[in-house]
C-alpha cells in the first residue's frame, strides 16, 4: 500500500493537499474492500480520516479527469524517446431503464446487433515500445436527432447519362464534417492540449469506421496522420505511369489493384506458420473517394490445405511509413 501512495505523489502538481489526501483514503479503501464499491463501503474501509462526508466531498469535487491519468502515464509509464500513437474506439455499454442521460440504441460489435445502452468515445495513448495502450479520456456520445427525409423532386429525368450541365468538380479536401466527426475532432484537440509539448504524437489510429475521406481530412486538419482500415472491396488504382496522350489533362488512374493477385514487385514479407501462408504487400495507390495518395498495406493469408484466401487492407496518410510500422 505505501508504494501506491508514492505512485500517486506526482498528482500533487494538479491537486491541492486536501483533495490528494482524500484520494489516498479512497484509493486505500477501494483496493482493500470486497464486494460492491459504494461510498458507504468506502467510508467503512477507509479508517481514520475517511468518513462518509469526506468521501462525499471528494466525489463532489470538480476534477480534471483528463489531466489526472495523463500525469500518471507521463511520470510512470512512458519513456522519453518512445514512439507514442493516439488510438480511439467506440465503446457500447448495455444499460436498461429509460431515465439515464444519453440512453439509446447503439450497435455493439460484441453482441453483433443493436442493443440499448450508452455509447462512449475512448481515446488512448499507445506505447510502441511496450506495445501497451493507456486510456486517457472517455466521453459519452449521444445520437443526433434524426434528420427529416430528403424531399423527392417531382421533375422527371431527361434520360441523359453523365454529369448534369453546369456541375463543378468537388474539392475533396474541403469537406463538411458530420456531427460525430466534429465531436471526435474536439475530443482529440482536448487531449493534444493536455499533452502539450511533453511528447510528440504524429499518428491517430482508428478502426474501419474511419476508412473514408472525411475522417482522413478531419485528422489531417489537426496535423496528425491517420492509420485505419479500408473495405476489402475498396476501388483502388495504381498511379498511371504511362505516356502522355498529348490531349487534355494527364491521366491520373492506372491499372486497378487486385487484392487477390498482387504483383510480386510489391511483396515485402512472406512467411508460413501452421499451414497458413502470409504475404504482406505495400504500395502507394489512389482511391477515387480520397483527395490524396494512400499508403496501403495488403495482408493476404492463404490456407495451404484448403486454398482459402482472406485479406485485409490497411491504409495510412503517411506515404513514407514502412509496412512493418
Tell me the average pLDDT across 230-252: 84
Tell whether 8 is covered by a domain.
Answer: yes
Q: 178 and 48, same structural domain?
A: no
| Closest-CA residue to 259 (of 183, 324, 312) | 312
Q: Are residues 119 and 200 in the same domain?
A: yes
Q: Assess whether 247 and 305 both reside in one domain.
A: yes
Worst-scoring range by mean pLDDT, 49-53, 123-127, 225-229?
A: 49-53
Q: What are 196-215's pLDDT values in tens digits? A: 888 889 999 999 889 999 99
Q: How confident is the model at residue 157 (pLDDT cuts 50, 70, 90)?
A: low
- Count, residues in the chain: 325
CA angle 297, 300, 305 (to 5 degrees): 170
Pair 83, 104 in one domain? yes
Query: Is residue 25 domain-shared with residue 111, that is, in the same domain?
Result: no
Angle between helices 39-46 and 52-60 (to 10 degrees): 130
Q: Is residue 271 part of a domain?
A: yes
Q: Please state, in angstroms and rounded to a whole number, the distance separating the CA atoms of residues 40 and 26.
A: 11
Mean pLDDT within 5-30: 88
Q: Tell me, yes or no, if the pTM score tops 0.85.
A: no
* Residues 76 and 194 reside in one and the same domain: yes
Distance CA 73, CA 125 (A): 9
pLDDT, residue 226, reads 94
If asked whether residues 94 and 207 sit together in one domain, one would say yes
Q: Are residues 109 and 221 in the same domain?
A: yes
Count of domains observed in the chain: 3
For residue 194, what is the enclosing H or E element? Answer: helix 179-195
The per-residue pLDDT for 99 is: 84
Which domain, by its residues, includes 29? 1-63
pLDDT over 60 at 256, yes or no: yes
Give yes or no: residues 311 and 215 share one domain: no
Q: Is residue 153 part of a domain?
A: no
Domain check: are 308 and 273 in the same one?
Answer: yes
Assign 116 a pLDDT band (cuts: 50, 70, 90): very high
Instruction: List, for residues 312-321, the tens digit of each pLDDT value.
Output: 999 999 999 9
Give me the residue label for grid cell 475522417: 215
Any domain includes 163: no
Mean of the per-residue pLDDT values for the chain? 87
pLDDT higher than 90, residue 86:
yes
* Residue-level pLDDT at 163: 72
* pLDDT at 156 (0 to 100): 62
* Poorest-pLDDT segment among 118-132, 163-177, 227-241: 163-177
Query: 224 and 241: one domain?
Result: no
Given a cut of 90, whether residue 281 has pLDDT beyond it is yes
Q: What is the CATH number of the domain that holds 211?
A: 3.30.420
In this structure, is residue 150 part of a structural domain? no
Residue 255 has what pLDDT?
Answer: 87
Q: Which DSSP string corresponds to 129-189? A: TTTEEEEEEEEEE-PPPPPPPPPPP-PPP----SSPTT-----TTS----HHHHHHHHHHH
| pLDDT tens per residue, range 24-81 | 889 889 888 888 888 999 998 888 888 999 999 999 999 888 888 899 898 888 887 8
**In this predicted model, which residue has the larger pLDDT, 267 or 154?**
267
Q: What is the CA radius of gyration of the chain?
A: 26
pLDDT at 5: 77
Comparing 15-24, 250-259, 302-311, the range with the smallest average pLDDT is 250-259
Asked whether residue 143 carries a pLDDT value surpassing 90, the answer given is: no
162 pLDDT exceeds 90? no
Amino acid at each position: 500500500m505505501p508504494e501506491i501512495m508514492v505512485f500517486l505523489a506526482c498528482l500533487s502538481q494538479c491537486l491541492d493537499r486536501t483533495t490528494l489526501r482524500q484520494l489516498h483514503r479512497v484509493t486505500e479503501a477501494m483496493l482493500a474492500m470486497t464486494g460492491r464499491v459504494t461510498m458507504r463501503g468506502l467510508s467503512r474501509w477507509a479508517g481514520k480520516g475517511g468518513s462518509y462526508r469526506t468521501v462525499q466531498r471528494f466525489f463532489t469535487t470538480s476534477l480534471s479527469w483528463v489531466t489526472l491519468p495523463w500525469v500518471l502515464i507521463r511520470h510512470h509509464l512512458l519513456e522519453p524517446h518512445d514512439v507514442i500513437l493516439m488510438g480511439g474506439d467506440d465503446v457500447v455499454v448495455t444499460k436498461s431503464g429509460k431515465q439515464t442521460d444519453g440512453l439509446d440504441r447503439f450497435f455493439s460489435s460484441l453482441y453483433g446487433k443493436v442493443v440499448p445502452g450508452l455509447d462512449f468515445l475512448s481515446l488512448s495513448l499507445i506505447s510502441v515500445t511496450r506495445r501497451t495502450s493507456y486510456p486517457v479520456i472517455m466521453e459519452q456520445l449521444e445520437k443526433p436527432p434524426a434528420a427529416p427525409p430528403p424531399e423527392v423532386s417531382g421533375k422527371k429525368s431527361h434520360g441523359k447519362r453523365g454529369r448534369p450541365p453546369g456541375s463543378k468538380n468537388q474539392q475533396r479536401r474541403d469537406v463538411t464534417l458530420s456531427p460525430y466527426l466534429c465531436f471526435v475532432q474536439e475530443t482529440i484537440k482536448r487531449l493534444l492540449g493536455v499533452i502539450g509539448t511533453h511528447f510528440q504524437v504524429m499518428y491517430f489510429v482508428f478502426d474501419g469506421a474511419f476508412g473514408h475521406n472525411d475522417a482522413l481530412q478531419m485528422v489531417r486538419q489537426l496535423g496528425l496522420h491517420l492509420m485505419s482500415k479500408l473495405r476489402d472491396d475498396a476501388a483502388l488504382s495504381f498511379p498511371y505511369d504511362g505516356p502522355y496522350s498529348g490531349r487534355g489533362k494527364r491521366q491520373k488512374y492506372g491499372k486497378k489493384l487486385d487484392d487477390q493477385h498482387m504483383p510480386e514487385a510489391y511483396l515485402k514479407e512472406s512467411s508460413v506458420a501452421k499451414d497458413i501462408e502470409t504475404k504482406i504487400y505495400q504500395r502507394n495507390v489512389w482511391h477515387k473517394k480520397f483527395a490524396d495518395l494512400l499508403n496501403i498495406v495488403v495482408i493476404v493469408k492463404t490456407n495451404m490445405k484448403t486454398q482459402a484466401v482472406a485479406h485485409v487492407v490497411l491504409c495510412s496518410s503517411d506515404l513514407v511509413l514502412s509496412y512493418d510500422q
